A and B are shown apart, each in its own frame.
Chain A
Amino acid sequence: DIQMTQSPSSLSASVGDRVTITCRASQSISSWLAWYQQRPGKAPKLLIYKASSLESGVPSRFSGSGSGTEFTLTISSLQPDDFATYYCQQYNSYSWTFGQGTKVEIK
């Protein structure tokens, strides 16, 4: 199975900060990577798919990049609504895997 490793596991940031989260795959997944946001007690929300495509309705401060085994999610200017946990997910193989999550907290 393909393993997905996110870093950091958590981070503290202030409103207006630029935030970058990294996701590494144990083998190449081309661009078959998605990013989700999950707020406490809520279902995940799709932010980015195919590594860099912004899901409809998602603010443009979210962006994704990468291919192969290394990917990043960037929030250009952190907003109060963005304090949440973020997960990457590979869907290259018919055995999807998620990263362990990155919790973004208020500094």
Chain B
Amino acid sequence: EVQLLESGGGLVQPGGSLRLSCAASGITFSSYAMSWVRQAPGKGLEWVSVISASGGSTYYADSVKGRFTVSRDNSKNTLDLQMNSLRAEDTAVYYCAKGKTASSSSPSDYWGQGTLVTVSS
């Protein structure tokens, strides 16, 4: 059974940093692209970032480019999102999602349950 478990969410002040992690099990982690998607309270889905299966290619939404960094450790089956210079508008539930293929350009067929990030003073 595929499981994606996010952690690291919480309350942080504007301008602060937070690191999210996603632990994957039940899959050959190194064979799939992984992404982060967020959802602000009561709002729709917003793609944040994607990383290829090898980790060699990474892409970001304009809204987080230069502030967020995605990375993965294929030996530990983990995906991370380092979030710096956080803003109130980054407040959201952050989902980790598995790509259907190794390519960074594939839809997400499994999702974690999400971790809430709240940016507030």
B114 to chain A, nearest CB (A): 6
Query: What is the bound-complex CA distance between A95 and B112, given in angstroms?
Result: 21
Taking a contact as CB atoms under 8 Å apart, the answer to whether A94 and B59 are in contact is yes
Interface residues on A, range: 20 to 34
In the complex where A43-B112, A44-B95, A94-B50 touch, is A1 in contact with B62 (Cβ < 8 A)? yes
Query: What is the bound-complex CA distance between A36 and B37, given in angstroms?
Result: 13
Taking a contact as CB atoms under 8 Å apart, the answer to whether B107 and A101 are in contact is no
Binary flags per residue of A63-107, CB closer than 8 Å to B gives 1, else 0: 000000000000000000000000101011111111111000000
A106 to chain B, nearest CB (A): 20
Residue B113 CB within 8 A of the other chain: yes
Query: What is the bound-complex CA distance between A91 and B33, given in angstroms?
Result: 13
A contact residues around B7 at 8 Å (CB): none
Taking a contact as CB atoms under 8 Å apart, the answer to whether B45 and A36 are in contact is yes
In the complex where A94-B59, A95-B59 touch, is A44 in contact with B45 (Cβ < 8 A)? yes
Residue A19 CB within 8 A of the other chain: no
Taking a contact as CB atoms under 8 Å apart, the answer to whether A95 and B61 are in contact is yes
Query: What is the bound-complex CA distance between A36 and B97, given in angstroms?
Result: 13
A contact residues around B111 at 8 Å (CB): 43-45
**Interface residues on chain B, number (Cβ under 8 Å):** 23
The binding surface of chain A is classed by DSSP as: loop
B contact residues around A87 at 8 Å (CB): 44-45
Taking a contact as CB atoms under 8 Å apart, the answer to whether A46 and B109 are in contact is yes
Residue B105 CB within 8 A of the other chain: yes
Query: What is the bound-complex CA distance between A99 and B113, given in angstroms?
Result: 21
30 pairs from A and B in contact (CB 8 Å cutoff): A1-B62, A34-B107, A38-B45, A43-B111, A43-B112, A43-B113, A44-B37, A44-B97, A44-B108, A45-B111, A46-B107, A46-B109, A49-B109, A55-B109, A87-B44, A89-B45, A89-B47, A89-B107, A91-B105, A91-B107, A93-B105, A94-B59, A94-B104, A95-B59, A95-B62, A96-B35, A96-B47, A98-B44, A98-B46, A98-B47
> Hey, which bits of chain B sit against chain A, CB under 8 A?
35, 37, 44-47, 50, 59, 61-62, 95, 97, 100, 104-109, 111-114
